[in-house]
Structure formats: structure tokens, C-alpha cells
């Protein structure tokens, strides 16, 4: 039970930092919407989504899934306030997964420096690395509304991009279908494990 709670806390805060990164980059590019909505905070309450932040991670952990992920409530972004339109939307989107990959790298460095001092610290840092690699790579998948779709869309004509983003309400179902019914879930897990090896974990 204690391990489950630790895992959920790490996953939730990893997802929250992902969303805060979106909000900060959006503000740097001209859109203060996330700040005005009170979303540039480490207080988990404004960020929590009952399904994606709690129910999905618990279900994946309890079921023994090799791929564990979750999500915080998306921060609001107003594309009309961004200075360079679709280019800035892509940069805002990329900020989230890059933050998770950076957290995984920091976790790996800390594990090498202090991980051996305590089994608990080792376990926590291991989960930080694994969960953030999962969140980083998963969000780069180009399925709306995942961040990868916004980055991928910059190469599309405007009209095609609008049709592409119309898939967003069905995105979570498409994602689960891809992960459960195609080799994508296995490939993503292999990518995570290979990345951990590269980091020396």
C-alpha cells in the first residue's frame, strides 16, 4: 500500500510539472491564461483529474501493467494570444514532454550520486525515472490531444490540421486502442527500458 501511494504521488507530481511547463512557456510566448487561472502552482488540487490523475494510474499499477502513466488536467492555453500562432503552439506542447525527460535525467543523476544511501531513495528515484520517461515518450505520440499532435501539426496545411484536431475528443480511446491492440505498447516499453539502460539504470 505504501509503495502504491508513493508511486501515485510521484506520477501525479510528474504530470503536474508537465502541465506547469506548458503554462510557463505559453506565458513566455505571450499567453498568461494558465497563470490567471491559477495553474502555475505546485498545489495539486487545481491540477487533479479524477480519472487520469488517480483512477487510470491505480488501475495500471494494480493490474501489473508494464506501462504506467497518468495525466493532470490540461492547463488552459489561448492560441490567439500566442505571438507566432502554430509555431508557438508547437513550442508550448513540446515543453511538457521535454520537462518529463529532463526530470528523468535529473533522477538518473541523483540515483548515481545518492541512490545507494537508502533503499527507499533508490526506489523513489527509480520510479521518478521510469514514470517521467513514460510520460515524456507517451505524450510525443501524434494522437490528438497529446502534445505530439500539436508539434506534428505544424507541417500540415491549416485546414488539414483542423480536421486532425477534431479527433481530440476520441484521442484517449484511440491511444488505449493503440497501446492494447497494436505493438505500440510493447515498443514504448522497450524504448523506456533502453533509455534506462542508456542512463545507466
Which active-site residues does the annotation give? 19
Compute the residue count for the chain.
201
Cα-trace Rg, the chain: 17
Closest C-alpha among 28, 163, 143, 141 to residue 91: 28
First CA to last CA distance, the chain? 25
CA distance 184 to 95: 23
Closest C-alpha among 199, 201, 183, 197 to residue 67: 183
Cell of 89: 503552439
What are the residue ranges of helices labelled H in the chain? Answer: 2-28, 33-36, 56-62, 85-114, 119-139, 147-152, 158-165, 171-181, 184-198
Would you call 166 exposed, middle or buried from its count of C-beta atoms within 10 A (0-12, 13-18, 19+)?
A: exposed
CA distance 66 to 190: 10
Amino acid at each position: 500500500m505504501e509503495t502504491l501511494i508513493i508511486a501515485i504521488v510521484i506520477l501525479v507530481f510528474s504530470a503536474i510539472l508537465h502541465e506547469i511547463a506548458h503554462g510557463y512557456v505559453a506565458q513566455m510566448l505571450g499567453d498568461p491564461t494558465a497563470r490567471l487561472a491559477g495553474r502555475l502552482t505546485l498545489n495539486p488540487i487545481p491540477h487533479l483529474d479524477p480519472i487520469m490523475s488517480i483512477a487510470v494510474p491505480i488501475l495500471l499499477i494494480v493490474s501489473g501493467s508494464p506501462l504506467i502513466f497518468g495525466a493532470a488536467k490540461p492547463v488552459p492555453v489561448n492560441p490567439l494570444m500566442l505571438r507566432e500562432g502554430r509555431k508557438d503552439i508547437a513550442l508550448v506542447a513540446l515543453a511538457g514532454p521535454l520537462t518529463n525527460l529532463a526530470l528523468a535525467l535529473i533522477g538518473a543523476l541523483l540515483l548515481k550520486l545518492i541512490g545507494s544511501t537508502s533503499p527507499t531513495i533508490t526506489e523513489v528515484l527509480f520510479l521518478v525515472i521510469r514514470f517521467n520517461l513514460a510520460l515524456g515518450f507517451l505524450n510525443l505520440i501524434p494522437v490528438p490531444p497529446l502534445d505530439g499532435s500539436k508539434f506534428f501539426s505544424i507541417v500540415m496545411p491549416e485546414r488539414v490540421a483542423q480536421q486532425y484536431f477534431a479527433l481530440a475528443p476520441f484521442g484517449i480511446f484511440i491511444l488505449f486502442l493503440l497501446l492494447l491492440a497494436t505493438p505500440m505498447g510493447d515498443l514504448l516499453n522497450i524504448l523506456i527500458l533502453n533509455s534506462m539502460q542508456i542512463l545507466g539504470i
